[in-house]
Amino acid sequence: MSTLWVWSAAGRARHGRSSFLFFLAATLLGIAAHAAEVDSGPVPDTIKQRLTACTACHGEQGRATNDGYYPRIAGKPAGYLYNQLHNFREGRRRYPMMTYLVDHLSDAYLQEIAQYFADQHPPYPAPQPFDLSSATRARGEMLVNKGDADKKIPACIACHGSAMTGVQPATPGLLGLPRDYLVGQIGAWKNGARHAVAPDCMAQVVQRLSAEDIGAVAAWLAAQPVPADAAAVAPTSVKLPLACGSVPN
């Protein structure tokens, strides 16, 4: 009886593999047929079509995907997006895929790309739920809203806006971004892998943050709901706590 069961199980396994291979082959044939249909007609020369390579990672309209690393770029200030594209092209930020895409693009075209995504406003996803300790939650909230005078860390809202939705023309909002992405980018400034136009205010700030501080800020921000009308606010007359080369005077 056990021998029959073993052979029956093996047969089912072979049948399962065959079914999977058949399904895979059919799927690939379907993709090829669809590609042939697409290739048979003219491709529209629109900015949306030309930026398909961007949305492959950053999601439709730049809304971000759920993989936890590629950021939302939709609705970010055009000046900020342009600065980042320029930084990738000039080597101040390093990510091979991005460098490859922008390496030979002109400033004018980078500005066109930035403006396209700045004009997109798809809805934000629900915030990421985290089981944070009360100490971590309190530390993250304090650093975002008040900073830490003893460590000379300015509040995040001093530059990114009181609602953390960004400030025109070049300061991004930090809500609606995955925790992993926030940790990765703050960490990149911390270890010198990411730079901005001098004076690099973020580089100065993050050197004063501990690893625990970075984790607390990222987790607290990722857990916050994004206002329905979230948008970068008009430039403020309040002086920034640090000189920042990415923000025009």
Q: Is residue 125 part of a domain?
A: no
Q: Is residue 22 part of a domain?
A: no
Q: Residue 229: its pLDDT value, please? A: 87
Query: Exposed, middle or buried, 150 (CB in 10 Å: 0-12/13-18/19+)?
Result: exposed
Q: Residue 12: its pLDDT value, please? A: 38
Q: Which residues are within 8 A (CB) of 66 and not within 5 positions of it... i.e. 6 or more apart?
A: 125
State how far the Cα of 2 lies from the Cα of 6, in Å rounded to an integer.
Answer: 6
Report the CATH number that the domain containing residue 106 is assigned in CATH. 1.10.760.10
- Whether 171 and 203 map to the same domain: the answer is yes
Q: Is residue 184 part of a domain?
A: yes
Any bridge partners for residue 171, and if so which? Answer: 167
In total, the chain counts a number of residues equal to 249
Higher model confidence: residue 36 or residue 201?
201
Chain position carrying tokens 């949306």: 48
- Whether 103 and 181 map to the same domain: the answer is no
Q: Residue 68: its pLDDT value, please? A: 75
Written in H, E and C, the secondary structure of the chain is CHHHHHHHHHHHHHHHHHHHHHHHHHHHHHHHHHHHHHHHCCCCCCHHHHCHHHHHHHCHHHCCCCCCCCCCCCCCCHHHHHHHHHHHHHCCCCCHHHHHHHCCCCHHHHHHHHHHHHCCCCCCCCCCCCCCCHHHHHHHHHHHHCCEHHHCECCCHHHHCCCCCEECCCEECCCCCCHHHHHHHHHHHHCCCCCCCCCCHHHHHHCCCCHHHHHHHHHHHHCCCCCCCCCCECCCCCCCCCCCCCCCC
Annotated binding site: 54, 57-58, 98, 156, 159-160, 202
Q: Residue 3: its pLDDT value, please? A: 34
Annotated binding site for heme c: 54, 57-58, 98, 156, 159-160, 202
- Interval 172-211: pLDDT, tens: 999 999 899 999 999 999 999 999 999 999 999 999 999 9
Ranges 23-27, 68-72, 116-120, 128-132, most confident: 116-120
- Whether 142 and 212 map to the same domain: the answer is yes
Q: What is the mean pLDDT of the chain?
A: 86
- Interval 122-177: pLDDT, tens: 999 888 877 889 999 999 999 999 999 999 999 999 999 999 999 999 999 999 99
Q: Is residue 98 part of a domain?
A: yes
Residue 63, token pair as written in the block: 């809304």
Task: Give the total number of structural domains in the chain.
Answer: 2
Q: Which residues are within 8 A (CB) of 208 and not within 5 positions of it... i.e. 6 or more apart?
A: 148, 151, 152, 153
- Whether 104 and 144 map to the same domain: the answer is no
- Interval 60-87: pLDDT, tens: 999 997 777 889 999 999 999 999 999 9
pTM: 0.80
Burial per residue of 99-111, b for 16 or more beta-carbon CB atoms within 10 angstroms, e otherwise: eebbeeeeeeebb
State how far the Cα of 207 lies from the Cα of 186, in Å rounded to an integer.
Answer: 10
- Whether 96 and 159 map to the same domain: the answer is no
Residue 113 predicted with pLDDT over 50: yes
Residue 98 predicted with pLDDT over 80: yes
State which residues form the domain around 55. 47-118
Q: Is residue 112 part of a domain?
A: yes
Q: Residue 38: its pLDDT value, please? A: 55
Residue 2 predicted with pLDDT over 50: no
